[in-house]
Amino acid sequence: MFPQHVEKIVAQVLSGKPQVEGIGCVSCHLIKQVEQTPNSPPSFKIEPGKMIYGPYADPEENLVHPATQSELFRGANYCASCHFDKVKDVTQKDLPGEILQGTICQDCHMEPSTGSSTSKRGAMTRAIGRHWFRGVVVPGILIKNRNLQAEWMPRVDLEATKSASAVEGTALVRIGSLPHSFPDGDPVLKQFYLIITAKDAQGKVLKEETRQFGSPYDKILRGPIPDPFIKGGHTRKIPFSLVIPAGSTAASIEAVLNYALIPTPEPALKEKYLATLATDKERESAKKIFDEYTQPRLLTYRAKTL
């Protein structure tokens, strides 16, 4: 598309330290329309050339390329042309559901701002969407919409019965019908920990069980990509059975759902990686990242009286 830049890009790649982004401007802005076939999810259709497509009916003249409007950029079906596993109906311009009526992916994932990327005049007054794609970058959307919180955040319910010697039941981990599976973002590395605890009337822990969900590094590298922990609009049922010490009586059951960003590496694997780093400073920095990214973080909690 831009032959004047080829020599620079090739030199960067051959240097072993490329500065080229995997997803650049043209990856999205050469999309002219979405193709739909009866046998597969829709896919984007690229229009090769220097014309760049975007949401504006009156694109400003700029120093780099001509531009024209495509209505596709104002619809959820534009994002779904790649991220089709995230939505229920990939052909719809709006996201489905009463809560989200009139909302599209870009409303949450492209922070509204003002500015201009390539305008000759340097105008900073046009409404634009930030291209950070960092998840929900507009906290106010969640703060003001309790229904949206309920749909987007996972929650745990407990079904349990007790006998003289045990507490048995099922933890129900639910996620709403938003277009996300759970976790959002990259589901491959994340780990989940469901901790089930039985307590007596004084709050003493009688029995605790931790269930871990997620793939270790050896399976991630050699096996198929794991499914999300929970698919959007579904419930994951996790049975449990806690044997209570003789002479004790269970009065309550608790469930805590935590997550970590990456698996905890086996000690030998971790040391093998650290040995590849050049300096002690780099090794200390890597250890801190390991500690931070493997640290469990609270997602949700539920308690039930027996």
The reply to whether 65 and 181 lie within a common domain is: no
For the beta carbon of residue 230, count every other beta carbon within 10 angstroms: 20
The reply to whether 116 and 27 lie within a common domain is: yes
- Residue 189 within a domain: yes
Kindly report the CATH number assigned to the domain that includes residue 163. 2.60.40.10
Residue 194, phi then psi, degrees to nearest 5: -105, 115
Q: What is the pLDDT of residue 248?
A: 92
Q: What is the pLDDT of residue 82?
A: 79
User: Across the chain, what does the average pLDDT equal?
Assistant: 81
- Residue 282 within a domain: no
Show which of 90, 116, 143 is a domain's final residue.
143
The reply to whether 133 and 203 lie within a common domain is: no
Q: What is the pLDDT of residue 224?
A: 75
Show which of 88, 118, 143 is a domain's final residue.
143
- Residue 169 within a domain: yes
The reply to whether 217 and 128 lie within a common domain is: no
Residue 248, phi then psi, degrees to nearest 5: -110, 160
Low-confidence ranges of the chain (pLDDT < 70): 1-2, 17-22, 37-42, 84-89, 96-101, 116-125, 134-153, 176-187, 232
- Residue 103 within a domain: yes
The reply to whether 32 and 115 lie within a common domain is: yes
The reply to whether 132 and 160 lie within a common domain is: no
Number of domains composing the chain: 2
Residues 67 and 55: their CA atoms lie apart, in Å, by 10
The reply to whether 93 and 169 lie within a common domain is: no
Stated length of the chain: 306
Residues 22 and 29: their CA atoms lie apart, in Å, by 14
Q: Which domain holds residue 95?
A: 3-143
For the entire predicted model, the pTM comes to 0.62
Q: What is the pLDDT of residue 93?
A: 82
